[in-house]
Every structure is written in C-alpha cells, then in structure tokens.
Amino acid sequence: MRPIALAAAVALLGLTAAGPAQAYCRTMTSRVRAQEGECPMFGVALSWRNLCTGYSLYRANIPAGLTLPDMDRITASSTGAWGRVACDDNGREPQYYRIIPNGQTSNPTGYNPYGSNSNTVAFRPKWEDDALHRPGTIAITVVTFDSLTGEIFDADIELNSRATANPGGFVFASARAPEPDECDLQTILTHEFGHFLGLAHSNITRAVMYPTAGLGEIRSDLNSDDSAGICAIYPERATPPGRCLGLPYGGLATTPGGATVVGPNNVSCAVGRAPRGGAGALGLAAIALVTLARRRRRAPGVNRD
C-alpha cells in the first residue's frame, strides 16, 4: 500500500509544479525532482526568516579593471532590483526582504555556526579545485541552511574570475556594455542574489533566474517570473516581526574568524543548457547548497536580525 500512496502523491505534486503559472522554482532542502526540468518538490523551501541581512565584499582578488566602488555600485543595483519588487499591480505591496551592504571583509567564504559571519561576494582566483567549482561555471552561491526548517543562515557568492592561475575563468565587465567575450557583472550578480534569497532556476529564458547566459549578454532586469518567485517567498503579508539591523547570522565578521565551509555534501543546479541554442552560452551559475547535518542550536545573544 505504501508505494502506491507515495506514487499518487508524487504525480499530484508533479502536476502542480508543472503548472504554467509557476515557472520559477524555490530552492528546497531536498533536490529530488519527479522529472528532469521540474522544480524540486520535496523537503522545505529555503528562506531567510528575519527582515534583512547584510553582505560584504571580499576585498582580495578583485580583478584588474574593476574597483571596490564599481563593486559597491553593481552589488547595490543587483540587490536593489530584488528589493524593489512589488507584489501587486499597484505597487503597494513590496516584497519585504532586504539585503544591506556591510562594507568590505577579509573573512573567507563559509559559515561559522559558533560566531560571527559574513555573507560575502568574492572573486575566486582559482576554480575547478574542488567539487563545488565546476568548469565552465561563471559563479556559484553557497547557501548554508537548516536542513529541517529551511531557514537560511548564510549565503556566499563566488565569481570565477580569470587570472594567471585560473585561465578558464571569466572577465567581468562593470560597464553596461560588455565585450562579446565578457560577462556582464550585474547580470551575474542579480542572478546569484536570487539564489542568495532562496530562488532556484527558472525555465523562462528571459528570466534572470534562467540557468545560463551568453557572453556579452545583459539580462539583469527582473522578469515577471522572477518577481513572482520572490513574492512567493517574501510577501508583505508574511513580514515577520522585529526590525532590520542588516547583520549576518551571529553578527558581522570582517576579519577571518574561523569560518569554514560546511560540507560540501550537496551540489545542484549544474551547468545548464545554452539559451536559445546560442553559441558561446555558458553556465551562469551553480548553487552549492550546503546543508547542516543537524539543526543549529541557537546560542543566547545571537543576533538574528
């Protein structure tokens, strides 16, 4: 009896997930899919459970041609695009979640469950050196979350930057006119901040959350599908109580403080298909979802705003 009941449940969920109104996908604690191309449908959907969090720019390894002010401007544009989404037709119901700049950090990517943290945006000068960093991927977002509740604790964005030691990396353009062999940084970061917020990939080719982008392509304006996705996670009616301090979990760490990457024990959203069959299209991002082995015990005094 049990296998029959389970199969029925899967079929029902599959029909729901494949409905035309829901092309976006939310990242789940489980990556199991009924069929390739459908949203993961098991486990709990990931989200931040406070009002806002902060991010910090990792100040090492910024490639030539880019400056910290460039990064400040572009990350602000990328986070601001998600923050401005209105969830109703008259713009009176914004999605409530905010990502606040926390300046710079020398803290490495990772999550420290016993202390302060940084949600980082970092250029990585060496790629393909472990299971998280697959060839041909422009960027990844490492999300650490509670595997039981889906609460996000930490999110770190890493960009595969071309360097002497990393010839397979990419050149990121700060201007809004990337060369044909460059990646538009704002397009890439807007996509990665979608992962940061709990979105997975969409099968809508015009969506920011579509898994691939061509070199020289600009696609940083949120599509209605992107907006629908973020509004499903952070609708105004679900705004939690409290106030926004804009700090990461456990408080802000700006210097190395023992943060470690937990895992990796799961990697999803592998390099995607080329959009519209375009030559030169590359995987926009993988999201490396790092689950905690057990529910985190919240220490007294931990700042969760």
Residues lying near Zn ion in the complex (CB under 5 A): 285
Q: How far apart are CA 170 and CA 220, in angstroms?
A: 18
Q: How far is the CB of 292 from Zn ion (least distance, A)?
A: 21
Q: How far is the CB of 143 from Zn ion (least distance, A)?
A: 11
Q: How far is the CB of 201 from Zn ion (least distance, A)?
A: 6
Please identify, using beta-carbon distances, which residue of 116 and 158 lies nearer to Zn ion.
Answer: 158
Q: How far is the CB of 193 from Zn ion (least distance, A)?
A: 11
Please identify, using beta-carbon distances, which residue of 253 and 285 lies nearer to Zn ion.
Answer: 285
- How many residues are recorded in the chain? 305
Long-range contacts of 62-66 (CB under 8 A, 24+ apart): 62/123, 63/123, 63/161, 63/162, 63/163, 63/171, 63/172, 65/171, 65/174, 66/172, 66/174, 66/185
Q: How far apart are CA 41 and CA 146, in angstroms?
A: 17
Q: How far is the CB of 128 from Zn ion (least distance, A)?
A: 18
Instruction: Tell me which residue has its CB nearest to Zn ion.
Output: 285
Please identify, using beta-carbon distances, which residue of 143 and 285 lies nearer to Zn ion.
Answer: 285
Residue 102: how many CB atoms within 10 A of its CB? 20
Please identify, using beta-carbon distances, which residue of 17 and 271 lies nearer to Zn ion.
Answer: 271
Give the three-state DSSP class for 241: coil
What angle is formed at CA 158 by the lines to CA 206 and CA 145, rounded to 5 degrees? 90
Please identify, using beta-carbon distances, which residue of 39 and 247 lies nearer to Zn ion.
Answer: 39
- Answer whether 138's CB lies under 8 Å from 170's CB: yes
Q: How far is the CB of 208 from Zn ion (least distance, A)?
A: 10
Q: How far is the CB of 276 from Zn ion (least distance, A)?
A: 17
What angle is formed at CA 78 by the lines to CA 64 and CA 233, rounded to 5 degrees? 145
Q: How far apart are CA 194 and CA 95, in angstroms?
A: 13
Please identify, using beta-carbon distances, which residue of 173 and 208 lies nearer to Zn ion.
Answer: 208
Please identify, using beta-carbon distances, which residue of 231 and 285 lies nearer to Zn ion.
Answer: 285
Q: How far is the CB of 29 from Zn ion (least distance, A)?
A: 18
Residue 85: how many CB atoms within 10 A of its CB? 19
- Answer whether 125's CB lies under 8 Å from 165's CB: yes
List the beta bridge partners of residue 303: none
* β-strand pairing of 281-291 with 212-214: antiparallel
Please identify, using beta-carbon distances, which residue of 50 and 78 lies nearer to Zn ion.
Answer: 78
